[in-house]
Chain A
Amino acid sequence: MIFRRIIYTAIFVGCLAGLMLSAAQIIMVNPIIFAAETFELAESAADSGGHSHSGHDHGDAWSSEDGKERTSFTIFANIAAGIGFAAILLSLMSQLQIQGLTQLSLLKGALWGLAGYIAVFVAPAIGLPPEIPGIEAAALKERQLWWILAVIAVGAGLLVISFAPLKYKVIGIILAFIPYIVNIPHHEGPAFAHPDPEAVATLTALHQQFIIASAASNLVFWLVLGVIAAWGLNRWVLKGITFNSGSSHAAV
């Protein structure tokens, strides 16, 4: 039962990668988010009197208390994201290995992680740089749709470039360029609407730090995901399943 094995393995891989991401995030990324939010709070307190930790909240929806509770939810969400990405990686690895197109090793796992990092972090970040609280941006729906397009197009492009026969590889290159040909939903005007120029300078500096910190922590996250997923694929998911490379015969 490959489905069940992938889910169990994804939970294991996701927990490890999510915990690694959480450690990197708590040390490097969260202090920047919190620092940026102090400006956002000042902004929203003036016009709405909002009391929540993230000044962009609308209405009285639940939000976690700052401190331990907020950190716990972040760790939980990081692990969930790790499980989700691990399930996607494992399902693709499993399909390609069963078809005899690849034979995963730890080194190849690191390459898969690197490809995941390029598709899920670098590709959308080229068009829409990572955001800190308080930054001005285009409408959320449009940015989310473009993000999904960028991740799927570049991810599929990398898969085609890596695994398709030589004459089809150009299709992968075209796929990877599509997100940058369409209209990227950019915000027009200054990045920060804060009235105080000193605050804008601080936020701009924080934003640059944030891009570096999130680039580093995401790289760690994806390398752990790729390497441990490759290990888990051979150790658990495809254990005892025989297939002949080329003839694509699988006995399940």
Chain B
Amino acid sequence: MTSNVESIQQVQAKPLLSVFVQNLAALAFGAIIIFAVGFLPVEAAHNAAHDTRHALSFPCH
């Protein structure tokens, strides 16, 4: 009985971890885009996103 419970938990553990990792990856994807739009210190990126940085009140200049 105990071993049954354990085996069910093992089956469930993998997709739950997988879901967590996938959500975490999506979070990182979003954070990287926000960094590129709001913080990338490359001059051309700053100039392209200039008005967006001001409108969203990212620190600029």
Contact = CB atoms under 8 A, between A and B. Distances in A.
B26 A217 contact: no
A98 interface: yes
Given A64-B48, A88-B27, A91-B30, A1 B55 contact: no
A97 B3 CA distance: 29
A7 B27 contact: no
B43 interface: yes
Interface residues of B, number: 39
Interface string B26-58: 110111111011110001100111111111111
Interface string B1-41: 00000000000100110111011111101111110111100
Contacts, number: 165
Interface stretch (A107-115, A123-131, A167-175, A192-200): A123-131
B52 A33 contact: no
Contacts of B32: 84
B30 A140 contact: no
A44 B23 CA distance: 46
B18 to A, nearest CB: 6
Given A58-B43, A64-B47, A137-B61, A84 B55 contact: no
A137 B60 CA distance: 9
A248 B16 contact: yes
B58 A147 contact: yes
A228 B52 CA distance: 21
B55 A2 contact: no
Contacts of B39: 144
A124 B54 contact: no
Nearest to B21: A3
A218 B52 CA distance: 11
A59 B33 CA distance: 26
B57 A81 contact: no
A250 B22 CA distance: 13
A113 to B, nearest CB: 14
Contacts of A58: 43
Given A81-B38, A250-B15, A252-B15, 7 more contacts: A30-B55, A77-B51, A80-B49, A121-B56, A140-B60, A218-B55, A218-B57
5 contacts: A91-B24, A98-B16, A131-B54, A132-B54, A137-B59
